[in-house]
Amino acid sequence: MENLLLLHGALGAASTLAPLKQALAITYNVYTLDFAGHGGQALPEQGYSIELFADNVLAFMNEQQLEQVHIFGYSMGGYVGLYLAHQHPTRVKSVFTLATKFAWSEESAAKETKLLNPEKIKEKVPQFATILAERHVPQPWEDVMRQTASMMQQLGANPTLTPAILAAIQQPVQVAVGDADTMVSLEETIDTYRTLPNARLLVLPATKHPLEMIAGSRLQHEIQLFTASVRAPLPV
């Protein structure tokens, strides 16, 4: 069986991908990991960055002796997967992104980070605060959120995936987005699809941003269809 690595999104953890991992385990050798500062991992002194998370993935692959993997990345995980594909092209066989935000600017970063206010979340969405606390224990979820906001601001000022980098990624990529996603626009997803030289576009109908609101069976089917279309492994 081929290797499939699932990468979680911002504020997420490997645990959020457990149902999908279980569903796909029949077809693939499936792996998940927690990025630094997520899922109880120590908060990095240098703060969050896409480059750091890509290094986390590469280190994990080396530890697990995985020469090549297909990557499925949800939201921020897709951004990390594409960056890794550019930096280490022989290690990544394909990338499937879902609900990944590509159009980073100072304006879009300000819009997203405005929502990442721990005090307001405790007040207005206490259930979500409880989920985050359990997901990231023993690390304070408030610090996880603050570092995520800081990373988004950095992306707004200097996006990691520039058009030139996207245009240089040769691996097969499937770019997917829900048509009801209010965080990631259809327009930015299409722009990225058109910039990538070897890409497919998938628009999921009546689908919002949260992963748990997407039918697992549909996602499992789409991942299987896409990876089956990647015929030959890249040279090691």
pLDDT value of position 215: 84
Contact 30, 53 (CB under 8 A): no
Q: Which is higher by pLDDT, 215 or 123? A: 123
For residue range 186-213, what is the model confidence (pLDDT) as tens digits?
Answer: 999 999 999 999 999 999 999 999 998 8
pLDDT value of position 104: 97
Tell me whether the omega of the peptide bond preceding residue 118 falls within 30 degrees of 0, making it cis: no
Is the pTM higher than 0.85? The answer reads yes
Question: What is the percent of the chain with per-residue pLDDT over 90, rounded to a whole number?
Answer: 94
> Listing from the earlier edge strand, what are the strands of the sheet with 92-98?
29-32, 3-7, 69-74, 92-98, 173-178, 199-204
* Mean of per-residue pLDDT scores for the chain: 95
For residue range 116-155, what is the model confidence (pLDDT) as tens digits?
Answer: 999 999 999 999 999 999 999 999 999 999 999 999 999 9
Cα–Cα distance for residue pair 8/41, rounded to 1 Å: 14
pLDDT value of position 41: 97
Going along the chain from its start, the domains and CATH numbers come out as: 3-107+159-229 (3.40.50.1820)
Q: What residue spans of 114-160 are helical by DSSP H?
A: 118-124, 126-136, 141-157
Counts for the chain of helices (H) and strands (E), in that order = 10, 6
pLDDT value of position 216: 85
Within 8 A by CB and 6+ apart from 157, the residues are 106, 109
pLDDT confidence of 236, banded at 50, 70, 90?
A: very low
For residue range 97-106, what is the model confidence (pLDDT) as tens digits?
Answer: 999 999 999 9
